[in-house]
A and B are shown apart, each in its own frame.
Chain A
């Protein structure tokens, strides 16, 4: 537009500028042509491929994306249209929430007319239960096997997750995306209604609205194959392609009495009671795991326990140490706990199994019926309570990994007696609503943070119980028990962040997602939730020091501080009326320990003893919609353009005869 400006210029300059003008205009025009055709869908979440020893699970698209004509699946007749009677296969199915179940997805899987599925994630039409996990979680990597408790193995006695439909463990040959943004879903629906609707039972005419999904995964077949191919690529290829990465992140641990982090192996004169819970969850889609009842209930309870215990353990320390641990990756065959047990066995951890006195694990505790809480123990071992009335195995829990190696006495606390109370176990819908977290409607977000919901009070009760039990188990005196109570206001993990926590830069909008992932992330080397728990623990159990920033980062130079016993965090203070939020150094005995399956360190990729679940790599994941024209129109345009080109070239002298004489000067 601004090319035809300015006065007359010398000849060379004007033709040069003319060339640049045309190419600039062409550049601008070409990008806007793409924007006129394609509408990019940004708020989508894919389902990715994971592998195990024998299978591939998850979803795969073609390398150049899968394209299909849009069709919204709202009724049974839509299903027939897609699978048998529609005239424009393959179809890209926009699936309403009510239809996202096993029977429909299996029919899609077996049909050749489905190019892909986009699931609308909403609460309207949500079934009473939906769990894409298996019915017997982690059945092959727990303690019950053919050689130990074979009658209790494979959920013979109790089916822990009876509502599980196993969708997360199926292999789909087409991409499945989740549409989380309502506005974007509206755009898609509008495109469908404008072009693809059936009029009086007859098929819609071209141009039709189509969608293209890209989620090509590199990995295939199983873990052994994938790691072998990655190895071959790394050794022999000029441009190595990595095909898959093991799931890895960090466990978070702390203890009431600091442990020397540089002394590995057996810790002298230490008898430790372990209090554990899990830190992760999963769902059918990648990086989505709100996991409220499955994970957050346990995390919050353990955090409240730690907060309740910290004053008493300072004033009247019990004889035994209490070791708190948050295990990452438990959804995928106990990645974090198996790694910690493995390190303990090899004397590569601050304590070893001889130091462990007993263990208490907090399972899913958010959906208690009334005031009941259940304690699960292994019927084969002498438990803390000597009257087991029912011979029922332990539910899936990190404690099982400890039992595999050593017969430690222990308990798992849960809100369920037999099967889970959680009807949305390891799914997208296990969120705050599943836990019945409701607020009075007129509260501001800051007021909501300190409001004590019923869920918070219930978890605080559990936390008080756990704290007092741990204190007694650690040999503390009963007279101090009344001072141990948990504060219901600790329930803020589900909300948008408060000022203090907002300074931890990673948490965006929306509830945190607890999928383990691959370690290095956009905002840092550690998963945001792991960092979150680490800093909250530092806040709850640490002490303020007056070190400067450089001293905080190199505490070994300061002789009053001990880098082996504590870790040092440079944090910003809370911003309030009389406090400007100055940063300071906090020391706490909170540490991270690597959580990656031992099988990847031992290079035993087919190992039945450890988790061998890597996640595939991919190049690009995106989705877009566009209007689709028939082949005939494309051919017609081609012929027309050929005709025009021929015509112009034959009349070239006539059309372009007004050329200037070429100047004698060179450029």
Chain B
């Protein structure tokens, strides 16, 4: 979808939907929101809806950073300690690599 060709109210509506949708444990919606609307929010000349779009993009970016931090921490811990956790590690795993601890 080309953002050039849709009216500003629709752009605002899109950004809001992506922002709200991300709260349903969908951080990729926030990622898309940030990447897609970044130019609209910060690089285009000002128009009426822009401050609201800017706030949605900023809040999405914040949420995204929190998610990335949490996921990175958990993945690091799991990869490092899964073998040591023995039974708990096996029950938490979806696939267990063959032949290694």
List residues of chain A with CB under 8 Å of any chain B CB: 60, 63, 216-221, 225, 228-229, 232, 241, 243, 616
Contact = CB atoms under 8 A, between A and B. Distances in A.
Given A225-B86, A228-B87, A60 B99 contact: yes
Contacts, number: 28
A225 B99 contact: no
A225 B98 contact: no
B98 A63 contact: yes
Interface residues of B, number: 10
Residue among B86, B87, B91, B99 with the highest chain A CB neighbour number at 10 A: B99
A519 B31 CA distance: 56
B101 interface: yes
B98 A216 contact: yes
A228 B91 CA distance: 10
Interface of B: 83, 86-87, 90-91, 96, 98-101
A217 B100 CA distance: 9
21 contacts: A60-B99, A63-B98, A63-B99, A216-B98, A216-B99, A217-B98, A217-B99, A218-B98, A218-B99, A220-B99, A220-B100, A220-B101, A221-B101, A228-B90, A229-B96, A232-B90, A232-B91, A232-B96, A241-B98, A243-B98, A616-B99
A228 B93 CA distance: 13
Given A217-B98, A220-B100, A228-B87, 6 more contacts: A63-B98, A216-B99, A219-B99, A225-B86, A225-B90, A616-B99
Contacts of A243: 98
Contacts of B86: 225
A232 B99 CA distance: 15
B74 to A, nearest CB: 21
Contacts of A225: 86, 90
Contacts of A220: 98-101
Contacts of B101: 220-221
A232 B88 CA distance: 12
A241 B87 CA distance: 18
Give 3 closest A-B pairs by Cβ, nearest first.
Answer: A218-B98, A217-B99, A221-B101
Contacts of A229: 90, 96
Nearest to A218: B98
A225 B98 CA distance: 12
Nearest to A56: B101
A243 B87 CA distance: 16
Contacts of B90: 225, 228-229, 232
Nearest to B95: A237
Contacts of B87: 228
Contacts of A228: 87, 90
Contacts of B96: 229, 232
Contacts of A216: 98-99
A63 B100 CA distance: 10
A614 to B, nearest CB: 14
Nearest to A231: B90
Contacts of A217: 98-99
Contacts of A221: 83, 101
Nearest to A217: B99
A570 to B, nearest CB: 43
A95 B87 CA distance: 40
A216 B90 CA distance: 20
A43 B29 CA distance: 57
A45 B43 CA distance: 68
A605 to B, nearest CB: 12
B20 to A, nearest CB: 35
A310 to B, nearest CB: 50
Contacts of B99: 60, 63, 216-220, 616
